Each structure stands twice: as structure tokens, then as C-alpha cells.
Amino acid sequence: MVVTVILVLSQSSYEKAYAQSGNANWPYPAYDSSNTNFDPQTQINNNNVAQLQLSWVYQVPVNPFHIAGAAPALGIETTPLVVNGIVYFATPYNRLIALNSGTGGVVWYYQVNMSEFSSKPWWASAYIVSSILYNNGTIYMMASDTSLYAFDGITGQVKFVIPDTGKSIPGNTGYYYGEKAPLIYKNLLIVRASTTDYGGRGYVAAYDLTTQKLMWSWYSVPPAGGQPNWDSNSSLGNVQAYQSDWGTTNYIGGGAAWGLMAVDNSTGVLYFSTGHPSGLYDAALRPGPNLYSDSVVALDAATGKMIWYYQINSHDVTEHEGGWSISLAQVNFGGTTKKVIVQAAKNNYIYVLDAASGKPLYDPIKIGPQSSNNPNDNAGSNSNLTLSQKVMVGNRICPGPDGGVEMSPAIHDGVLFVVTQNACGLMTTGPVTYKAQTINGYIYNGDPSAPQNSTLYAISLSSGQRNWKFEMPFRYQGSSAVVSGGVVYVIDRSGVLYALDEQSGNVLKSINLGGLGAAGISLGETLRGEEALFVPAGGGDLPSPTPGVVLAFALPANTAPPPGISIEEITSIALGVVVIVMALYIIAKRGARRGAV
């Protein structure tokens, strides 16, 4: 593990400089703990966004690790955080980087030693960091081995590590990889790990923030080998119990809570969605609805006890789980204001659920082109609970494994801004490696012969009606939609950033970033008080390996000090830098003398 400190300003200087700067920060992966992706700043708005100019470019370093059997790490997939004039993001190879928001210069970085991961039998040999979190002066990042790191936001020093949260999951015979930031509720750190088709048992766990001790765990699927009466909590949701749900095979796995979670701090309820069952083996071996995969789940954040669930797809055979995040919002419905949970799913349905009960406010909203060969999508009690993938082989499946909604939406003023990826898939059979065994299984990939494009929708959450839509000629995956200052920002898979008018959907500006769009933008203030747009580019499935870049865009230069910061305060910050640099120099000299003795 290596920490490099380039330049450090004191915490008090930063706090003083930002005391009167308003909406200066972007501290959560989706701006706030409700995952709205709405930033209330107004400096950059629909009247001036066309004037944005490139301020700086930071070239992401090349991955220093070469791990046998692991996929190459390309680009970045984290939406940058912006806090007190520092931009934070992480690379897939587990390097956390802090940049000066005004210049793009490195403030500090920390590199997790990934060479140790191969010795950990629960690690899935996959690595990507898709979100990080800032809270109360600390940056949190889950490493790919499922260890959780807490860093001082100013110095980069490690405050603590909760090692290997996926190491000892009871009943697990699969593998995990960490990628998502934790969520904080009061004094609890709430974590989970991804598993997809690696066969791990989906879990959510809470640790005490002070002692780092495990406080509770919740599991989305039964242990390998099955569990009698697994779905005994079925009275809390929309799908009833099924005798011997999941069966008794050792293949059982999946249901990871891989998207962004939300918490209602006023009620203490935690909300998240779970992924699909592991799809490499025959689904006929897991009869039943397969609770609680493919579900929106509400837990008591303090205890981990389930409050309600809503299963989107029962007995999923086409990987049509919920997408990258759920959102907590307030919607005017029937003359009253209701708290709702919004889940846009890969089956191209949008679910608007009452946050208290989990019941739908109205029928799910269907978006995107016509679906095909998805027999259990949104079928509820009419689902075929013993279905095998055999019936899917040789048929085009739309949406495919990488569609429809493959990103986090944005919500503002009762309107949902969501992109669906219009891409289909094909399923074949053949030998696959699953849980360290070679089995005759199912291979599900995209269909390159089918049309591949995407559509951005603006949808009223009160009525479910579409306000407008915007067609994009390329795919869209991984980049969250963002709304701020009357502008909606989206980045398609080809790397084009679109800025559209929030009310009309008209294009106000587009920028070709020169690299694949795999993460969303963020906004925040620099130390000069100017608002800037921070944009990651590169990563994912580019034809040529690229470590990616982070770009900053701002309005034409304004050199005036930010509001509320005096010349004396700026001088104080500068003097603080001088003092710290001198202190570091003296310490270094003393260390050198000791080494010479």
C-alpha cells in the first residue's frame, strides 16, 4: 500500500473558504443520499451551458498490475466526487485519486495492493470501482477484494480498514468483487459486494462506524444447497411462498445488491434492489420465484429486518433485474405528497412504489422499443416458475443482457430523466466454468446484428406520462443522467456528452469527449468560487486499451475571489501551505540525519 501526498491544505482552511459558498460540493455518488442526481446549483444553467470551455485534462495512469486470469482494467467508471475544492475518483485497479478542482493537479493518491488479491479464495478475479462516498471529512472506497477503506479526505491517510467483508458469508460457495461505496446511516456503515454469475450469495451488512464490528447481515438468496421455507417472509411482498423455492442444488447464487442504495434518515428505512439469480446453470434447477432476487427491498437500517419487498421479475431467466440505482423521491399523487421509491429496470419497466408499503402507485411504465422473448418480465403471479433457458436458445431476446436501463436516472421537480439502451441478446449453450466446475450451461451475450441505440425520456412521476424523449444513435451504459440549472446531462457509450434543456429536451450543447462514456458527470466549485463540470471519459469495452481521462469544463474565466472569501482569508490559506511545506521539509531533514547515524 502506497500513499503519495503532493500538497495538503489544512482542513480548517478549506472549511473556512467554503463556509459561504452554497452548493459547492458533490459528496455522494448520485449527489445525495436519495440518489436523485439533481444538483441545485444555478451558476451553470440552460442560458449559458453552451459557453462551457475546457479547463483542464487529467490523464489517468496506466494500471500497474498484471494479475493472471483477471480481465484488464480500462478507464474509470466512478462519478467524481467534489468536496471543498478537491475532486475524488477511483480507477478500476483500486487507486483513489484526489485532484485540485481548479487545476487538475494531483493532491494525493492511494494505491491498494491488488497483488495480494489472488490469494483470497472468495475473490472473483474481477475489479472495477464504480462509486465512492464522502462523509464528514472521510472518503470511503470498497476495494475489489471486498475490503472497505476509510481515508482522510485532506491528507489521504487511511483511517481504518474493514477487511474482507465477503470472506465469511455463511452458505456461500461462490465468489465476490467489491465495487460500490457504502452507505452511512447514523453510526452504521452499510456495505455489500457484487457477484453476478460468479455464484456468490447476495448480502447486505452493517458495521459499527466507531468499532468496525459487524452489527447485522441480510441475505437475498438461500445458502448453497437450499433452505426449507426460505421465503417465509413472503407475506411482506407481492409474491407468495413457493414450496422448496430455489431447490436444493449447490449451484444457488446471485441476487447481489450491486446498485446504489438509498436511506430515509427520517424513518430509518434502507432501500435497495437485488440482482438476478446466477444464470450460467439451468433455471429449471431453481424452481420458484427465487425470492429475494430481482427485488426492491426495504429494511430497517438499524436492525436489518425486512419491512417489505417488491419482486420485479419472478424466476428471472433473462437477467432483467433493477438497474444501477433506486431513488427516493416525493411525488404529488392524487392531491397529496407521497414518498416513493423509483426503480428503472433492465426489462424497460419503471416501477413507482409507495415508500412505506412497497405497493405500486400505478402500473409500471413501459419504455423503449417492443420487447421479445421475455416470458417472465413483469408477469407477477403469471410467471412460469419452472422455466428453463432452453426455450430462449436461438431466439433474439430484447432487451438483452446489457439493456434496457443500464444507468442511474435523475429526478427533479417530480420528473424522471431516464435512458434506456436499445440492445438485444442471444443465448447459446456450451461448457461454462461455474463455482470452479465445468458444467454444460448457458452463455448469454449481446446480439451485434440487432440495432443498438438509446433513448432519453422525461417522465412525470405523478402521472406516468412522458413529457419528451431524445433519441441517441449509440448505446448508453453506465453513465448516470444528471440534472442541474435547468440542464440534463447524459454521456452515451461513444463518448458524446449531451446537455439538453430540462423542459423541452432540446440540445443546448454536445461535446465529443474522445473516449467511451462509462460514468456520469458531477458539478462543484473550485477554490475561486467558479462552478465547474467534471467529466470522466474512457473505460469499459473500448477497442483499444485506455486508462481514461477526467476533464473539467467551466464558463469563461472569472478570476475574482469567490463570494464571502476575503483577501486576508486567501492569504491565510497560502501561509498555511507554506507552514506545512516547511514542516514536511524539517521532518525529512531530521529523518535523513537519523538514517546517517
3-state secondary structure 233-271: CHHHCCCCCCCCCCCCCCCCCECCCCCECEEECCCCEEE
Q: Which residue has the higher pLDDT, 12 or 363?
A: 363
Q: Which residue has the higher pLDDT, 75 or 6?
A: 75
Domain presence at residue 578: no
Q: What is the pLDDT, as a whole number, of residue 567?
A: 31
pLDDT digits (tens, 9 = 90+) for 197-218: 999 999 999 999 999 999 999 9
Domain presence at residue 573: no
Half-sphere exposure of 312 (CA within 13 A, CB side): 36
Q: Which candidate, 136, 51, 131, places its Cα nearest to that of 89?
A: 131
DSSP-H helix ranges across 56-136 = none
Domain presence at residue 188: yes
Q: Which candidate, 382, 346, 348, 350, places its Cα nearest to that of 364?
A: 350
Q: What is the pLDDT, as a whole number, of residue 558?
A: 54
The phi, psi pair for 181, rounded to 5°, reads -65, 155
Domain presence at residue 570: no
Domain presence at residue 572: no
The phi, psi pair for 142, rounded to 5°, reads -95, 125
**Torsion sign, CA atoms 274, 278, 283, 288:** negative
* Secondary structure (DSSP) of 123-190: B-S-------EEETTEEEEE-TTS-EEEEETTT--EEEEE--TTTT-TT--SBBB--SPPEEETTEEE
Amino acid (one-letter) located at 147: S
Supply 371's cell numbers: 420487447
Percentages helix, strand, coil for the chain, rounded to the nearest 5?
A: 10, 35, 50
Mean pLDDT check: name the lowest of 73-87, 286-300, 477-491, 538-552.
538-552
User: Domain limits at 500?
Assistant: 2-565
Domain presence at residue 197: yes
When the pLDDT of each residue in the chain is averaged and rounded to a whole number, the result is 88
Residue 383, C-beta contacts closer than 8 angstroms, at least 6 positions apart: 289, 313, 314, 315, 375, 376
The count of structural domains within the chain is 1
pLDDT digits (tens, 9 = 90+) for 528-576: 789 999 999 986 554 455 788 999 999 997 533 344 443 334 333 333 3
Residue 50, C-beta contacts closer than 8 angstroms, at least 6 positions apart: 499, 508, 509
CATH number at residue 118: 2.140.10.10
Question: What is the rounded CA–CA span in Å between residue 264 and residue 33?
Answer: 8
Domain presence at residue 579: no
Domain presence at residue 423: yes
Place of cell 436444493: 248
Half-sphere exposure of 164 (CA within 13 A, CB side): 13
